[in-house]
A and B are shown apart, each in its own frame.
Chain A
Amino acid sequence: MSTSFYIGALELATGAVLVCAVMTLWRRQVRTIVTMLRLQGVALACVAGVLAWHEHDLGLAITALLVLAVKGVLVPWLLRRVIRRDPRSRETAPLINVPASLVSAAFLIVVSYVVTSKLTALAPSAATRLVPIGVATVLVGYFMLVTRRRAVSQIVGLLLVDNGIALVTFLLTAGVPLIVELGSTLDVLLVVVVLQVLVVNTGARHGSFDLDEMRELHD
């Protein structure tokens, strides 16, 4: 693979991850948001794949396949099931309206470029220059978590944070050792399963699962 093709492919895939993150803030239909999450999972797998090709790293190639299977296929499938069972979660309920959310996202992207300058300075390369994009995805995920009220939106926010961190991992260190990668991907999958069980079971038992109604525990 020629260097310019490598850089181009890496930038394209990394950019796609952030675009998908911002799209989740823009669209209101949860079905579309889940599609964005699936595309983001595929883009993330592409980043890992391109890096694996470039570095001739077998462990990273396995990771890429794992990411594709878990974040591109399994997790979106689980989320679809939640939407089907819980009709109230079909539309998001933003506390901050969409244009303001998008402006905030732009601000968060600038912030991430500022905070990561030390990281890029230590080992400047085609990959580490893209690290701010990963951090921006993490911040957009946090923003989603605190400004959306539906249960599914919170799961999506959690997954954006996780995808952003995975992206930073690939770009900075070409992935952590395989055992850690396996463990952390499995953990994410299990967390989503746990959350799905909570939403679906509670919906069946208590009518619906709405974060607005979760106000009983406080001091």
Chain B
Amino acid sequence: MLSFLALAIPFLMGVISLVVPWRRWIGWASAVSAAGVLGIGIALCIATSSHTAVTAFHGALRADSLSSFMVVVIGTVSLLATLQTPRVMSQEIAEGTTTPRRASYYVALMQAFITCMLTAVLAANLGVLWVAIEATTIATTFLVSHYRTKKAIEASWKYVILCSVGIALAFLGTVLVYFAALHSGVGTPGTVSLNWTSLMAIAPHLNHGVMRLAITLLVLGYGTKVGLAPTHSWLADAHSQAPAPVSALMSGVLLTVAFYALLRFKAIADAALGPAFPRALFIVVGLLSLLVAAVLLIAQRDYKRLLAYSSVEHMGLLALGAAAGSSLAIAAVLLHMLGHGLTKSTLFISSGEIAHAEGTTEIAKIKTLLARRPVLGGIFGCGLLALLGFPPFSLFISEFTMARAEVDVGLWWVVAISLVCLSVIFISITNHARHFLLGGDSSVAVPLNARSVVVPLVAALAASAFIGVSAWPLLTLLRAAAHVVAR
């Protein structure tokens, strides 16, 4: 019932925004719907905390503690992103860059996007998970091309083609898992399905050759949507052209929802093949992503693209954490997803405000931001500190724990290589930020009077710092969620 409600609320909100002509309250209502999703996520976490799963719709929807945690992550970032809707849309309508009709479409597509992500994490069937993730591509395309400039159209074209083709491989991988399940020699053919529980039950009997091929295709396929190298190139284009709240939602949760799919399939592959083969795959794509991010961040000229490549870096870190695969590592991966969602959405939303105020997204054209716009610059600066892994923010503790878990399973050389890449990234980002933020005279400061920007973003940073310092109330939750897919 709870999981059904989680899907119904954003869906109905989307329908309402299509039927009722645009008013400012529709924007606020969409934020209320995201808050509702967050509330349901917390309720689901409590309901599933004792290793039980909640099912609905004759078992088509299934929430275990991992899914419930993902619902919380989706709810949190959606709330941050949709709180911007009323202000951003009214502003764009006033400036003539959007019409009320397109503002309605924007709200509807945002809600459709959120519904698809929720379907992906709540589906019991791994085939339906695929359908939902592919559907997020369709829902977000018109959000990416919202401004209808040539660049925005180019970005959305590349986004659809690359993601659809990439994720087609994931479908082939899913079919191969199903084929292996049909010929596992356990159970009667009528009972075989793509359901998570039935696949995990027969996982040790799946054919090795087929499963090797399957997990490789799945890592490449879902990896495209996660933004892992070598198919990360759509990410910087789409994230830099989309409206800021959309980039926040895409970077903050869409990537991690796709990563959630990988976590599920990795658990099946681990049970079928033993840890060595899936681990090698995840290490290759993880290290490659870190390397690509490090190289492309050094001379980055656009701060939105800088944030996008930092997402590639963080997804690479998640892949390395998943490669370790112990329950400590998976708990850290999940904490990293939440921390990255909070931090990256804060940064994207504030970068949208900076772009609007300064009229450019080029790093070189902006100087002394902190002195001229202390609030906006301050939020952006704190966000960058959080992103770079400074304590007390939660990314510090999750990165540290992932590294420890990797060393525990003997992957110290992976930690060594990733530390080199992280140092390069650290130096390049601080270097860019120094030019961008510091210096100048603070007497010319422009006040920022947009409470709907400041309050949610400061709250998000505070939440990130809070979960970085105190394990309560997440520790039990993370343990339970990690238990679902850890070896």
Contact assessment for A187 and B138 in the assembled complex, using a CB-CB cutoff below 8 Å: yes
Do B183 and A180 touch (CB < 8 A)?
A: no
Looking across the interface, which residue of chain A has its beta carbon closest to that of B141?
A194
- List, in ascending order, chain A residues with CB within 8 A of B141's CB: 194, 198
Describe A's contact surface by its main secondary structure: helix
> A187 contacts B134, CB within 8 Å?
yes
Q: How far is the CA of A214 from the CA of B155 in the complex (A)?
A: 9
- Contact at B151–A180, with CB atoms within 8 Å? no
B residues engaging A (CB < 8 A)?
Answer: 125, 127-128, 130-132, 134-135, 137-138, 141-142, 145, 148, 150-151, 153-158, 160-161, 164-165, 168, 171-172, 174-176, 178-180, 182-183, 193-194, 207, 209-210, 213, 236-237, 240-241, 296, 300, 305
Chain A residues lying within 8 Å of B142, measured Cβ to Cβ, are 194, 197
The interface residues of chain B, by DSSP majority, are classed as helix
Min distance, Cβ B451 to any Cβ of chain A, angstroms? 34
Number of interface residues, chain A, beta carbon within 8 A: 43
Task: Let me know if A184 is at the binding interface, CB within 8 A.
Answer: yes
Give the number of residue pairs across the A-B interface with Cβ within 8 Å: 128
Q: A183 at the A/B interface (Cβ < 8 Å)?
A: yes
Which residue of the partner chain A has the closest CB to B138? A190
Stretch at the interface among A13-21, A33-41, A62-70, A170-178: A170-178
Check B127 against A179 for contact (C-beta < 8 Å). yes
Interface pair A173/B178, CB less than 8 Å apart: yes
CA–CA, A202 to B151, complex, Å?
11
Assess the A165–B171 pair: CB atoms within 8 A.
Answer: yes
Q: How far is the CB of A147 from chain B (nearest CB, A)?
A: 14
Verify A176–B194 contact, CB threshold 8 A: yes
Kindly supply a per-residue 1/0 record for chain A positions 123-148, scoring 1 wherever the CB is within 8 Å of any chain B CB and 0 otherwise: 10000000000000010001001000
Interface window among A24-32, A81-89, A114-122 = A114-122
What residue in chain A is nearest B305 (Cβ atoms)?
A: A219
Q: Does A205 touch B at the CB level, under 8 Å?
A: yes
B241 contacts across to A, CB distance below 8 A: 217
B156 touches A198 (CB 8 A): yes
Q: Are B125 and A194 in contact (CB under 8 A)?
A: no
When C-beta atoms are compared, the residue in chain A nearest to B300 turns out to be A219
How far is it, in angstroms, between the C-alpha of A190 and the C-alpha of B135 when the chains are bound?
Answer: 9
Within 8 A of B (CB), among A178-219: 179-180, 183-184, 186-187, 190-191, 194-195, 197-198, 201-202, 205-206, 209, 214, 216-217, 219
Please, which residues of chain B bring their CB within 8 A of the CB of A119?
A: 176, 179, 209-210, 213
A165–B156 CB distance below 8 A: no
The CA of A162 and the CA of B161, in the complex, are separated in Å by 12
Instruction: Tell me whether B172 and A168 are in contact (CB under 8 A).
Output: yes
B residues less than 8 Å from A190 (CB atoms): 135, 138
| Minimum C-beta distance from A149 to chain B (A) | 13
Query: With contacts A176-B127, A195-B160, A217-B155 known, is A162 near B168, CB below 8 A?
Result: yes
